[in-house]
Amino acid sequence: MTEMDISRWALRLEYDGTGFVGWQKQQDGVSIQSLIEAAASRLVGNRPVSSITAGRTDAGVHASGMVIHIDFPGDAKINGRQIRDGMGYYLKPHRVVVLEAAQVSLDWSARFSAIWRSYQFKILNRQARPALQETHVWHVKRVLDVDLMQEGANYLLGSHDFTSFRAIACQARSAVRTLDVLTIHREGELVIVNTKARSFLHHQVRNMVGSLVMVGSRQWPPEKMREVLEARNRCAAGPTSPPDGLCLTGVGYPEDPFA
């Protein structure tokens, strides 16, 4: 389609990543992207549509505030309510929901216009395994000291080379990232990690959490986080935490397209 033939819409999504291969379309397994594009296509008479996301989530990772944009045919007579409700209907019974839709200019990009992304990671810190939250938490039995975790987290704030916390398969050209927020607090049996940055490396959040659990369980002192960071070696960091506890909670833009 040419630019004259396109109507671009920003969508805010919520989804449960359990059982999916992640956001991106793949040859095997069901992806969030394939479901979204299929639902959008049905909304406009099964014509082709394309989507771009603010950030690709891995298999098992959830989202409560993912933002994408979709290019619909320019002559499609649709509005935000019809996109939200119509796609919501076609997405059933999958746990994928369109929360909002807003028309944007063709130079707006869900990915490249974004100025920050935020994630939350939940750890269930108790002896008994989870029942109700099984696919939405990392179950850690050892008692975690959140004050020690926060002390360790503070070493990661600011701009650093995060090579020690990136996946070996990460394709980013540079490992330098600026971490604006990394806070840890406890709510009863839950230990909650919140983080925010312009962008993250592949597995960066899950690898940081894995190392912080080493600190919280007193296997590492908090200052070990500085050593790990300075090592610039993935082998120096802790284990990769499972995807279940991770949720993309928001994406920010200079001007909120949904305001």
Q: Which residues are catalytic?
A: 58
- Strand, coil or helix: what is 145? coil
Asked whether the beta carbons of 137 and 220 are under 8 A apart, the reply is no
Q: Quick count: other Cβ atoms within 10 Å of Cβ 160?
A: 19
Q: Which residues lie below 8 Å from residue 257, measured CB to CB, with a gap of 6+?
A: 10, 67, 102, 104, 108
Task: Indicate the length of the chain as a whole number.
Answer: 259
Angstrom distance (rounded) from CA 189 to CA 198? 30
Asked whether the beta carbons of 58 and 170 are under 8 A apart, the reply is no
